[in-house]
Structure 1
Amino acid sequence: MSHDCDVLVIGGGIVGMASAHAVTRAAPGTRVVVLEKEAGPARHQTGRNSGVIHSGIYYRPGSLKARYAVRGAAEMIKFCSEHGIPHEVTGKLIVATERDELPRLHALVQRGRLNGIPVRELGPAQIEEYEPEVRGLAAIHVGSTGVCDYGRVTEELARSSGAEVRYGAEVRVIARRASGVAVRCADGTVVRAKALVNCAGLHCDRVARLAGDSPGMRIVPFRGEYFDLARPELVRGLVYPVPDPAFPFLGVHLTRGVDGGVHVGPNAVPALAREGYGWGVVRPRELAGTLAWPGSWRIARQHWRYGAGELHRSLSKRAFTAAVRRLLPAVTEADLTPAPAGVRAQAVLRDGTLADDFLIREAPRTVHVLNAPSPAATASLPIGREVARRVLGVLAGERVGR
C-alpha cells in the first residue's frame, strides 16, 4: 500500500487536534492528516460546553482523569497565555446547601488533597466574601480552576501542528491491512495511512467497529441543557453544587465565561440522537442502537429516580430555576434565557457501568480514544501526548519490522 500520510486522525475536536499536535511535536517530519466531517473544528463536545478549565478535584486519585486534569489545567493556562487565547484563572466554589451533602463535601476536600490540589474550606460568611449572592452551609474554594475559549484552543492546535486538516470529510469505510489503513470518505476520497487514530467523540464506537474492532462499550449520548443568566452581576466566578458520586455529571452550576456572560447548567437528559441538541432531533437508527445496548437498560433500571428528576427540570423551567435557587436564591425564571445545548459522549459498558475514566485502546495499526467527555478539554494536551506515544510506537514497530 502506498501511503498518503504516516498518521491519520479521525475527529477535529480538541482531542483529535491535540493528538495531531503532539505527534508532530514528538516526531517532527511525521505526516499527519486530520479528517473532520463538519465544516470546521470543535463543532460538538469541544465547542458546546461551559469552557471550564477543571482542577481535577472530582476524579479518583491515580486515575487518568485525575492525573491528566491536574497536569492539563496548568498546561492549558500556559498554552492560552503563549498564544493569546482568552482565558482567566477564576477559582471556584463547591457549595453544600443541605446537611446530607456535608460528608460528600468533606470527601472532596480529601480527594483534592490526594490529587495535589490546594483547597480552602469555607463557612457561610466566607462564602459571601467570594460570592455575595450565593448561600450555603459550607463550601470549598478551589483556586486552580479557570475558564477559556476551547474553540480557539482547537484552532491554534490545528494551525501550529502543521497537520493537513480536511473538513467536510465524513468517514464511511475503513479497511485495515498489514501494510496500513485505508479510509474512504462520503465524497469518495480515499486516504491511506500507516496508522490510524480514532478521536471521533460522539461516534468513536462506530468508527471502532468500522475498523473491525469490538470496543466493548457504546456511546450513550446525554444532552446538557444550558441557560444564560440575564443578570450576570449576580455571579462573580464559578459556583458548583456538591456532585452525586454515582454520576459523572456535576449538576446545575454557574459559570462566568471569558466573555463576561454567565452560563447556567447543564441539565443532563438522554439525547435521542448522537447530535441530539434538542428534543426535536431524533435519529431512529441511532436511537435504536442505544436501546439495543444492554447497558442502556441497566442504567435506566438502576438510576430511574435520578433520570426522572433531570427530565422534570428539562421539561419545566420552574423546576430548573428551583435547582438554581438552591445556590443562588435571587435568581428568577425571567433571569434565565435558553442557550445552546451540548451532548456528552458517555461510554457505557455492557453491564450498565458508566465508564468513569478516559478509555484509550490499541488495535493493529490503530489507537482508539473511546471515552473522553469532560474533563477531556482540560486534559487534552496530556491525552494528546499519550495518544502520540502509542501511535508513534506503531510506526516504530513498523520500522523495526523492516
Structure 2
Amino acid sequence: MSDFDLFTTSDDHEELRAAVRAVADDKVAPHAAAADAESAFPQAAYDALRATDFHAAHIPEEYDGVGADALATCIIIEEVARVCASSSLIPAVNKLGTMPLILAASDDVKRRYLTPVARGEAMFSYGLSEREAGSDTANMRTQAVADGDGWILNGQKSWITNAGISRYYTVMAVTDPDGPRGGNVTAFVVHDDDEGFTLGEPERKLGIKGSPTRELFFDDVRIPGDRIVGEAGQGLKIALRTLDHTRVTIGAQAVGIAQGALDHALAYVKERKQFGKAIAEFQGVQFMLADMAMKLETARQMVYVAAAKSERGDDDLSFFGAAAKCYASDAAMEITTDAVQLLGGAGYVKDFPLERMMRDAKITQIYEGTNQIQRLVMARQLLK
C-alpha cells in the first residue's frame, strides 16, 4: 500500500456508497421524520438494511457476514446518517456491541453470537457506562460474582443505545473488587430473556429519538461461564480497544449528518429568492457554504484515514480514532447550526429536516466518549 492509498476510496467503495444511498433515499428517508416525531424505532429502515446486508456488514464471512472492511462500514453509516441519524445507529451499534467479541472472544462465542447478528436475526448493544461511571469507566459498580461454573450479575448500566430492541448485550462488570483498578473488569454476553434482567423506561432525548436509549438492570442474573468475552479481568482493556475502533464510526455518523444538512441548505439557497435574486448569489451566503463544505471534507478525510488505521490495527489508532470522532462531531454541530441559519425561519420548523439534524448532531459530541475525553486520549498519545 502506498501512502496515497489512505486518501482514496476504491471503485468498490464508491459502488457501495451508491447502493447504500439508493436504499437510504428510497427506504430510510421516508420514515425519518416520523421516527423522530414519534420516538419510534425505524423498523422499516432496519428491514431495508437487513434485506441488503447493510445492518451489520462488518461481521466476517466465516460467521455468515459480508466481511466489509472498516472504511466500507463507515461509508454505510455515513450514507444512512445523511438521511436519518437514528437509523445509522443500527449498523453502528451492531458493530459497537459485537466488536469486543471480534477482538477477544473465543471462536465458539463468536460463532454463537456473530452469526445471528450477521443474518439479521438479532441486534447487539453495548453496556459500559453507569450513572456514576460515565467518563470514569473504571469506577463502575456493576459486579459479577463467581458461582459454580457461572457468574451472578448485579448492577445497572446507563444510556444504552437500542436497548429493548437488541437481543444481546456486551456488559462490563467488576469481577475482582479488590483487584487493580481497570484490571478487575470482565466482559459478558447478556441475553434479553435472562431472568433478573430488566430495562428502564425509554429516555426522553433531544435527538436520535428513533433509537431507544434505556437503562439496564441486573438483579441476580445468572450468566453461564461460556458467555465470558475474552479473559477474566481483561474487560476494561477490551472495552477501550473497542472504542478505538468504533469512535471512527461515530465520526462517520457525524459526517453523514453534516452532509445531509449541507445538501438541504444548498438546495434551499438556490431556490430561495430575496431582493430579486437567489440568496445563493450573495457573497455572505457563499462564504458560509464554503466554510461548511471545507469543514465537512476535512472531517471526512480524517474519518477515512482513521478507518484505514482501524482496518490495519495501526499502533496510532487511539489518536486517530479520537481525533476523527472529535473533529467530525464538532464540525457536524457547526455545519448543522449554520444550515439552520441559512434556511432562516424555515430552518427552525419541522417542515424541513434541518432542525432534526441539528438536534441529532449534538449527541455525536457526547457518546462513545465526550469530546473532552477525546482530547485527553489524544494528548496522552502525544505525550507517550
TM-score (norm 1): 0.26
User: Which structure is higher in helix share?
Assistant: 2
TM-score (norm 2): 0.27
User: Which structure is higher in strand share?
Assistant: 1
- Of structures 1 and 2, the one scoring higher in RCO (CA 8 A, sep 6+) is 1
